[in-house]
Amino acid sequence: MDNWAVEKHDSFMYGFNVKEVLYEKKSRIQEIKVVATERYGNILFLDNCVMLSEKWEFIYHEMIAHPVLFTHPSPKKVLIIGGGDGGTLREVLKHPNIRSVDMVEIDEDVVNVCKEYFPAVSKQINHSKANILIEDGIKFVANKKNEYDIILIDSSDPVGPAEGLFNSTFYKNAMESLRDDGILVAQSESPFFEMSYFKNAVNNIKKAFPISMTYTAFIPDYPFGLWSFTMGSKLYDPLHNFNKDNFEKYKLATKYYNQNIHFAAFSLPNFIKDVIK
């Protein structure tokens, strides 16, 4: 399989036919690899796991950002933990009411690699409203209190440097970093793949917030396609507090997210409901 880049696990693997390896290097944090493919554009791997493809990245980035940004009535200051590719930042900055975004990424090499090989994803990295901080997000939120309207946890899988982004202490600190009506959203893994990671993330967010709701999107880049996000909110419910006025006024250019998707994404299959009861 010399012409394939694969993500390999104990019980399965999947991969992509590769035209060329564009970049391959170990940073101080992790293995970074970028490959060029015929059908899916460039693909980013971190520690041999797929992070994004040029073809489908918009689904993940739109769905981690817009449901919460249209739930909070007037978000001004946003924190992104991780998100070194810049895609979540790009989506957040589509909202004109946002005044500033702190993006805390632990690995500067990821930011630089994505600026070179994923320019459409990382195009807002140098935006005047963006403040890029190369720091450990776990330590960062531990020292913040009552500062952000929204926190987005755009992390890799819960192994290595990202493992601490899924535990109850981190979510408690993140909750305290939010203002009184603040909302957090975290990518909470696949309900099909590594069910224990999914259940752990959802339950820990439930413990930290008075309102918590899980939603899903189909993302072809990731194992088995179905991926989850979990929202922890101090005050607002995404189904009852959808900001239709802003949605109609902003007319955002999105490829996946729309008003119907906003509500439909929170409709969960019974087997997922049973897991997170």
pLDDT in tens, 25-48: 999 999 999 999 999 999 999 999
Q: Please state whether beta strands 178-187 and 226-233 pair in parallel, antiparallel, or not at all (unpaired).
A: antiparallel
Q: Do residues 202 and 240 share a domain?
A: yes
Amino acid 179: pLDDT: 98
pLDDT at position 164 over 70: no
Q: Do residues 49 and 128 share a domain?
A: no
Q: Return the percentage of the chain with pLDDT > 90, whole number.
A: 81
Question: Could you count the other beta carbons within 10 Å of the beta carbon of residue 204?
Answer: 22
Amino acid 155: pLDDT: 82
Across the chain, mean pLDDT equals: 93
Q: Over the range 33-42, which residues count as b (16 or more CB within 10 Å of their CB) and which as e?
A: bbbbbeebbb
Q: Do residues 49 and 68 share a domain?
A: no
Query: Could you report the per-residue pLDDT of 71-82, keeping only the tens digit for each?
Result: 999 999 999 999
Q: How far, CA to CA in Å, does 156 sit from each of 46, 160, 220, 277?
A: 8, 9, 16, 25
Amino acid 73: pLDDT: 97
Q: Do residues 191 and 87 share a domain?
A: yes
pLDDT at position 239 over 90: yes
Query: Could you report the per-residue pLDDT of 129-150, keeping only the tens digit for each?
Result: 999 999 999 899 999 999 999 9
pLDDT at position 194 over 80: no
Q: Do residues 42 and 177 share a domain?
A: no
Q: Are 145 and 174 in contact (CB under 8 A)?
A: no
The span from the CA of 153 to the CA of 161, in Å, is 13
Amino acid 161: pLDDT: 54
Give 167's pLDDT tier (boundaries 50, 70, 90). Answer: confident
| Sheet with 20-26, edge to edge strand ranges | 20-26, 31-37, 41-46, 49-53
Q: Do residues 74 and 188 share a domain?
A: yes
Q: Do residues 100 and 223 share a domain?
A: yes
CATH number of the domain bearing residue 212: 3.40.50.150
Q: Is the pTM of this model over 0.85?
A: yes
Amino acid 156: pLDDT: 57
pLDDT at position 233 over 90: yes
Q: Do residues 164 and 245 share a domain?
A: yes
Q: Do residues 206 and 77 share a domain?
A: yes
Q: Which residues are catalytic?
A: 154
Give 165's pLDDT tier (boundaries 50, 70, 90). Answer: low
The residue segments making up the domain with residue 25 are: 4-53
Q: Do residues 46 and 70 share a domain?
A: no
Q: Do residues 42 and 84 share a domain?
A: no
Q: Please state whether beta strands 211-218 and 49-53 pair in parallel, antiparallel, or not at all (unpaired).
A: unpaired
Query: How many domains does one find in the chain?
Result: 2
Q: Do residues 28 and 109 share a domain?
A: no
The span from the CA of 167 to the CA of 202, in Å, is 10
Give 169's pLDDT tier (boundaries 50, 70, 90). Answer: confident
Tell me which of 17, 35, 53 is where a domain ends: 53
CATH number of the domain bearing residue 35: 2.30.140.10
